[in-house]
Amino acid sequence: EAGVVQSPRYKIIEKKQPVAFWCNPISGHNTLYWYLQNLGQGPELLIRYENEEAVDDSQLPKDRFSAERLKGVDSTLKIQPAELGDSAVYLCASSLAGVETQYFGPGTRLLVL
Amino acid sequence: GENVEQHPSTLSVQEGDSAVIKCTYSDSASNYFPWYKQELGKRPQLIIDIRSNVGEKKDQRIAVTLNKTAKHFSLHITETQPEDSAVYFCAAYNTDKLIFGTGTRLQVFP
């Protein structure tokens, strides 16, 4: 069984440019999470989806960040415009509905210059 | 909201020794406590977890203990090997989300 897939693995952009990250969860996992991981820190939740519905986006900086999961399977996280402080690893995770155990993807390492 | 503290931030041990990492949480409603291992540049991998109705769980060289009264849980690794070197994160599940600790960098020297 394939794990959580993310792309790209690395992205370097200049500040003020837009950037998008893609995630494909484990097959059958209804719940999808986007996390931000700063260097030397634990992951912090940005948004949680149950199928196509964003049920917790309280930590998502909505002035520049947006996310979608239109068909309830794969998801895209976008930043526009990117700032220097957005440099971090963006992790996607998934779980079965109602189950606490989450499985992580390899992450996208973003560097904003 | 929930707050998870993790200690120590770094831990160095000799191969074959034991390693213990401790976490405390603030909200007694938290009911699920996973531990993740993250090697440099790789995904966090679930290595063991425990639910609030259990006091201890063991899987080969790894064990986790939970003290609900004191609101703390610990990861124990016995007979450490160089491949155990990584960053370990504890987490507490609360209001449908995982709250992570700040991580412990474990180095196992041959």
- Tell me which residues of chain B, numbers 29 to 58, contact chain A at a CB-CB cutoff of 8 Å: 32, 34, 36, 41-46, 49
Q: How far is A16 from chain B (nearest CA, A)?
A: 26
CB contact under 8 A, B93 and A100: yes
Closest CA to B43 of A87, A108, A38: A108
Residue B14 CB coordination number (10 Å): 9
Q: Identify from A33, A102, A109 which residue to disrupt to test chain B contact, counting B C-beta atoms within 10 A and taking the largest count.
A: A102
Asked if residue B17 has pLDDT above 80, the reply is yes
User: Can you tell me the distance from the alpha carbon of A87 to that of A38, in angstroms, rounded to the nearest whole number?
Assistant: 8
pLDDT of residue A1: 57
User: Can you tell me the distance from the alpha carbon of A52 to that of A15, in angstroms, rounded to the nearest whole number?
Assistant: 30
- Of the candidates B32, B42, B100, the beta carbon closest to that of A43 is on B100
Task: Tell me the pLDDT band of A56, cut-offs 50, 70 and 90.
Answer: very high
CB contact under 8 A, B44 and A43: yes
Asked if residue A60 has pLDDT above 80, the reply is yes
Q: Identify from B3, B43, B64 which residue to disrupt to test chain A contact, counting A C-beta atoms within 10 A and taking the largest count.
A: B43
pLDDT digits (tens, 9 = 90+) for A62-104: 999 999 998 889 999 999 999 999 999 999 999 998 888 999 9
pLDDT digits (tens, 9 = 90+) for B30-75: 999 999 999 998 999 999 999 988 899 999 999 999 999 999 999 9
- Which residues have C-beta within 8 Å of that of residue A88, sequence separation ≥ 6? A36, A37, A38, A39, A110
Distances (CA, A) of B90 to A106, B6, B14, B72: 18, 7, 22, 11
**Across chain A, which distance is largest between two alpha carbons, in Å?**
40
| Token pair listed for B3 | 């707050």
Q: How many CB pairs under 8 A join A and B?
A: 49
- Of the candidates B45, B49, B97, the beta carbon closest to that of A48 is on B97
Distances (CA, A) of A68 to A19, A21, A32, B2, B5: 14, 11, 11, 27, 32
Mean pLDDT of chain A: 95
- Of the candidates B34, B42, B102, the beta carbon closest to that of A101 is on B34
For A36, name the nearest residue in chain B, comparing CA atoms only: B100
pLDDT of residue B1: 84
Residue B88 CB coordination number (10 Å): 23
B102 contacts in chain A (CB < 8 Å): 40-42
CB contact under 8 A, A100 and B89: no
